[in-house]
Amino acid sequence: MRLITKIGEWFDHRLQLAAPIREAAGHPVPRNTASWFYVFGSAALTVFLLQLVTGILLALIYVPSAGEAWNSLQALNHQIALGWFIRAVHGWGSNFMVAIVLIHMVQVFLFGAHKYPRELTWIIGVFLLLMTLGMAFSGQVLRFDQDAYWGLGIGASIASRVPIIGPFVVKLMLGGPIIAGATLSRFFALHVFVIPGLLIGFVGLHVLMVLKLGINEWPMPGRIVKRATYEAEYHALTKKDGAPFVPYAIWKDMFFAAFIILAIAACAYCFGPFGPTGQPDPTIIQTAPKPDYFFLWLYALLSLLPPSLETPFLLICPPLVILGLLLLPFLSGEGEKSWKRRPIAFVTVLMIAITLGTFTRMAQFTPWSPHMNAWSGDPVPERYIHGTTALERQGALVFQVKQCRNCHSLGNTGGQRGPALDTVAVRLTQDQLIRQVIQGGGNMPAYGNNLSPAETTALVAFLETLHPATQSPARDAARGIVLSEGKLRSSTQP
């Protein structure tokens, strides 16, 4: 024991780190910050360290080459002992990391911790969030499969829309004219060297500032932050009602960190690694690329925005959001901290969470995508042709063969891009059906060039049978009169 002490003293004589570490560990924190609400920052740091370790382990096998990456992932999954588990931990770790960073941010915002004097801590935190998302995207690229390949294409297409410099940005991003070896290599450099290096530096500053400025005290409604008095008040608070960070507060951080690591390990064990999906071969086009979980909301948004709004939205909104986040501590640097007295802040967070959640959920179903495999070979459900005329059956055939079901469902099978057609005859009259089929519109292509008049007649005859037994199909009231008048006239003519 004495030997260990002696060795320790020998090192500290040279390093002189014991005193500052002891000081940092024992620095007083307000008692009420030893709360389960204050564990997300340390949890994010823990997951980051986990990602560093598992990332280094993966790099022992992974080959960052467009020709070999996919095979090396297969080797990790199937050949190397526990390679699948390390991949799974790294993949689930990234999901947890994004989630925890977001929760941490929301907690900090709702507790007013971005206010004076912690503005810079918040700003660095915003950069840490952006880097975390950058790691998430570049990591998805390193899993070099079909999703990664077409995901890069989506990234390039978005980047190309920047006015003037767009095409250059694309080539800089791809490292060449197309998505290929150089693209993967530069995303490898970003994911493994550039962003982690920046992250380590920024995390260091972020934690250092928490130590120097002190952890945000529990916000009390009515306790107002003022630049002139805040620091003295905080000092008095930690003196009057403070406790050393170690061990008073840290045990909760430690418990939560261990819980998160176990949760990641459990997810990794139960659900396994992510992909890789099909080989990154651009000539295999039977694929429906989808981004990873944390970008699903964007995927949904890009499908649902009106085409004309998309480019302005993509180019203007992200910079505005980032600018807004960076300016936030300056716009509301003082005043109430408690979310109970900041209704707008609370509602904003709620709105953003609900919006992102809804988009994410929608992106899991992709109702906007045609069902590419609602094949023309599928049978028309029996009940739709039961007791129909020859013309209507012919129409059912046209309906099937022209892939109407890629976008329209019948009997709950088929796409959801267009409306379900189970009761279409109740909604549209014969004339309206003909017009819709031939001219399209309302986001439906025009089929006028692809249907012969006979096919159109048959198709519409079939569509007119699609109504509940108890409801008759829609009729144009005037049509009957016009037709009967026509008949009258022709019958009265000699």
Cα 336 to Cα 110: distance, rounded to the nearest angstrom:
10
Q: Which residues pair with 29 in a beta bridge?
A: 243
Sole binder of another protein in the list 79, 389, 439, 472 (CB under 8 A) = 439
Residue nearer to another protein on the CB measure, 234 or 447: 447
Q: Measure Cα distances from 455 to 49, 80, 293, 434 in Å.
A: 64, 58, 43, 11
Rounded to the nearest whole angstrom, what is the least distance from the CB of residue 279 to another protein in the complex?
7
**CA gap 354, 350 in Å, rounded:** 6
Q: How many helices (H) and strands (E) does the chain have?
A: 22, 4
Nearest to 225 by CA among 332, 110, 328, 120: 332
Amino acid at 317: C
Instruction: Tell me whether residue 277 or residue 369 sits nearer to another protein (CB atom).
Output: 369
State which of residues 27, 31, 171, 223 lies at the interface with another protein (CB under 8 A): 171
Question: Which residues, 6 or more positions from 208, have their beta carbon under 8 angstroms from its beta carbon?
Answer: none
| 357 and 137 Cβ atoms separated by less than 8 Å | no
Q: What is the DSSP string of 301-316?
A: HHHHS-HHHHHHHHHH
Closest contact distance (angstroms) between CB of 308 and another protein is: 7
Which lies closer to another protein via its Cβ, residue 35 or residue 450? 450
Member of 406, 436, 456, 465 binding another protein (CB under 8 A): 406
DSSP 381: P
Residue 404 makes contact with another protein by CB under 8 A:
yes
Query: Smaller CB distance to another protein: residue 91 or 370?
Result: 370
Among 57, 66, 213, 397, binds another protein (CB under 8 A): 66
CA angle 19, 24, 28 (to 5 degrees): 125
From the list 62-70, 232-240, 255-263, 266-274, the region that binds another protein by CB under 8 A is 62-70
Site for another protein in 356-395 (CB under 8 A): 368-370, 372, 376
The pair of three-digit structure tokens given for residue 131, joined into one six-digit string: 């880097």
In sequence order, what are the beta bridge partners of 336? 224
Stretch that binds another protein, among 35-43, 171-179, 253-261, 479-487 (CB under 8 A): 171-179
40 close to 100: Cβ distance less than 8 angstroms: yes
Q: Which is nearer to another protein, 193 or 330 (CB)?
A: 193
Q: Taking CB under 8 A as the rule, does residue 179 contact another protein? A: yes
# residues contacting another protein (CB under 8 A): 72
Given 77, 107, 277, 287, the residue binding another protein (CB under 8 A): 287
Q: Give the number of other CB atoms < 10 A from CB of residue 364.
A: 11
Among 62, 116, 150, 462, the residue binding another protein under the rule CB under 8 A is 150
Candidates 331, 336, 330, 349; CA nearest to 120 is: 330
Q: Hey, what are 10's tokens?
A: 């020998």
Pick the binder of another protein from 5, 16, 308, 470 (CB under 8 A). 308
| CA distance readout (Å), 167 to 156, 161, 172, 315 | 9, 8, 9, 14
Minimum distance of another protein from residue 423's CB (angstroms) = 23
Residue from 45, 75, 162, 189 in contact with another protein (CB under 8 A): 162
The interface region with another protein, picked from 13-21, 38-46, 253-261, 296-304 by CB under 8 A, is: 296-304
- Quote the CA–CA distance of 494 and 485 in Å, as a whole number: 16
Instruction: Indicate the residue among 96 and 447 with the shorter CB distance to another protein.
Output: 447
CA–CA distance, 139 with 184 (Å, rounded to integer): 10
Return the residue of 229, 355, 364, 450 that touches another protein, per CB under 8 A. 450
**Binding residue (CB under 8 A) for another protein from 117, 166, 272, 333:** 166
How far apart, in whole angstroms, are the C-alpha atoms of residue 273 and residue 57? 15
Report in angstroms how near the CB of residue 179 gets to another protein at its nearest.
6
Among 10, 37, 168, 271, contact with another protein (rule: CB under 8 A): 168
Q: Does 28 bind another protein (CB under 8 A)?
A: no
Is 194 one of the binding residues for another protein (CB under 8 A)? no
Q: How far is the CB of 230 from another protein (least distance, A)?
A: 40
Q: Is 167 in the site for another protein (CB under 8 A)?
A: yes
Residue range at the interface with another protein (CB under 8 A); choices 5-13, 35-43, 114-122, 163-171: 163-171
Q: Classify residue 464 as left (phi > 0), alpha (psi -120 to 50) or beta.
A: alpha
Q: Which of 3, 14, 228, 307 binds another protein (CB under 8 A)?
A: 307
| Binding status of residue 160 toward another protein by CB under 8 A | yes
Residue 181 contacts another protein per CB under 8 A: yes
- What's the closest the beta carbon of residue 13 comes to another protein, in angstroms? 33
Question: By the 8 A CB rule, do 52 and 63 touch?
Answer: no
Q: Which contiguous run of DSSP H or E holds residue 225?
A: strand 224-225
Q: Can you tell me which of 107, 311, 360, 430 binds another protein, judged by CB under 8 A?
A: 311
Of residues 178 and 420, the one with the C-beta less far from another protein = 178
CA dihedral sign, ordered 361, 373, 368, 95: positive
Rounded (to 5) percent helix, strand, coil in the chain: 65, 5, 30
